[in-house]
Amino acid sequence: MRAATRLRALLASLRIRLVLLFVLMALATTAIFVAGMQRALSAGWDALLRPIVVDYVDRLAAEIGTPPDPARARALAERLPLSVRIEGPVTQFDSHPRQRHWHGHETADDENPRLLRRETADGHRIVFGLGDRDWADGPRGIGWLTLGGLLLLTALAYGLVRHLVRPLDDVRAGAQRFGQGLFDHPIPVRRQDELGELATQVNAMAQDIRAMLDAKRELLLAVSHELRSPLTRARLNAELVDGGPAREALLSDLEDMGDLITDLLESERLAQGHRALQREPCSLNTLVHDVVEERFSSARLQMQLEPDLPKAPLDPVRLRLLLRNLIDNALRHGGAAATATHLSTARVDGRLRLVVRDFGPGIEEAQLGRLGEAFHRPDAARQRSTGGVGLGLYLCRAIARAHGGELRFRNAGPGLEVTLDLPS
């Protein structure tokens, strides 16, 4: 499976495909050239060279005589790079007897072209051939050298293609950084060509996106800060109202608005990732106890905290906010269930793990992957009456990522289980 995956990735590589294209073009060009040259040489052989060879072989056979003279044949083989074999009723002669065995096979007369054989009037057959077969090792060595040269040229072509498409690697890495919101390192412009122009345009696009995000963030922060003052005054005025259901409802709504503004501010601050954190050694169990006692002392919670968890470098303010949102989300959507909301901590594979599970209706599987997106509410499972605008889990995910952790969701059947893993 891994080998097949690697092969598919290799074949999907632009470098490999370009090199294969060059090789195929070279092979096709070579095949066309060789075929054309063979056609041209074949026509030249039939028209020009074959008559000359036939006439020359006739002269050699005449020089040996009829009946064939072995002495003349031997002198001819010594003078020219030829082998001569005579077979007949009277004379049997072979100037190169060992060459009748070539690569372990007996050489048959039919393997020699007819133009190199002559029949004498007295029934003898004279067969001419090349006198020295050592020449065959030369083409074999040349073939290996040619193959080595082709492999070397292929390697050089790959290196050249790798150099040419290197800006694409820079663009890909830059696009990944920009997608994560990291705009401080633009794509390097290595060459002044089409790819260099592409890198410049992508950098310009990234700066435009960064400017738009900064403008949106500044506007959101400004509006959130401006809302705090009238919200504080409204809460003070609500405290002066006579007690009753209306007063409690008003205070609850004002508290929700305050939490919403806090979530907005924190989500924008956490856009800077780990740089927005104020880390200090903290106990996860202590943070859980503090949040439960402060905000959820009367809630139905079943806690199972692993003792002696090591302290970890965490931002206590942001972790309290994360715990508040996770527990509040679980209570709102599973508080009416017969089973109390479950809260546990543990250490798994060297990381701190927090699990919050409610026993409510859960959500649709199609919506599970979108949990943690800003302002997303899976209304099919969680109605507007349950409260929230879809920022709580988004903020939790931002806090987890800023700490180098991970937030995961799954339908536990019944209910939703949220797992937070943090580095210890």
Q: Give start-end residues of each CATH 1.10.287.130 domain in the chain.
A: 187-275
> Which tokens belong to 142?
């040349």
Closest CA to 364 of 409, 300, 314, 418: 409
Judged against a pLDDT cut of 70, whether residue 139 lies above it is answered with no
Structure tokens at 369: 């992957």
How many degrees, rounded to 5, is the angle at CA 281 between CA 280 and CA 286? 115
CA quadruple 370, 375, 378, 384: dihedral, nearest 10:
170
CATH class as words, domain 187-275: mainly alpha
Which residue has 């797992």 as its token pair? 419
Q: What is the DSSP string of 238-255?
A: HHTSPSSHHHHHHHHHHH
Q: 285 pLDDT band (50/70/90 cuts)? A: very high
**pLDDT, tens digit, for every residue of 385-421?**
445 556 778 888 888 888 889 999 988 888 889 999 9
Helix runs in 270-295, H state only: 284-295
More confident residue, 387 or 369: 369
DSSP 403: T
Amino acid making up residue 398 = A
d(CA 351, CA 423): 5
Strand 301-305 relative to strand 341-348: parallel, antiparallel, unpaired? parallel
Which residues belong to CATH 3.30.565.10 in the chain?
277-423
User: What is the topology classification, in CATH, of domain 277-423?
Assistant: Heat Shock Protein 90 (3.30.565)
Q: How far apart are CA 161 and CA 140, in angstroms?
A: 31
Q: Mean of the per-residue pLDDT values for the chain?
A: 78
State pTM to two decimals.
0.49
Using N-to-C axis directions, what is the helix angle for 194-239 and 245-269, rounded to 10°? 160
Predicted pLDDT at 230: 78
Compute the Cα dihedral for 209, 215, 218, 221 and give only its sign. negative
Comparing 2-6, 64-68, 224-228, 260-264, which segment has the lowest mean pLDDT?
Answer: 2-6
Which of 124-138, 315-329, 331-345, 369-383 is predicted most confidently? 315-329
* Interval 3-14 mean pLDDT: 65
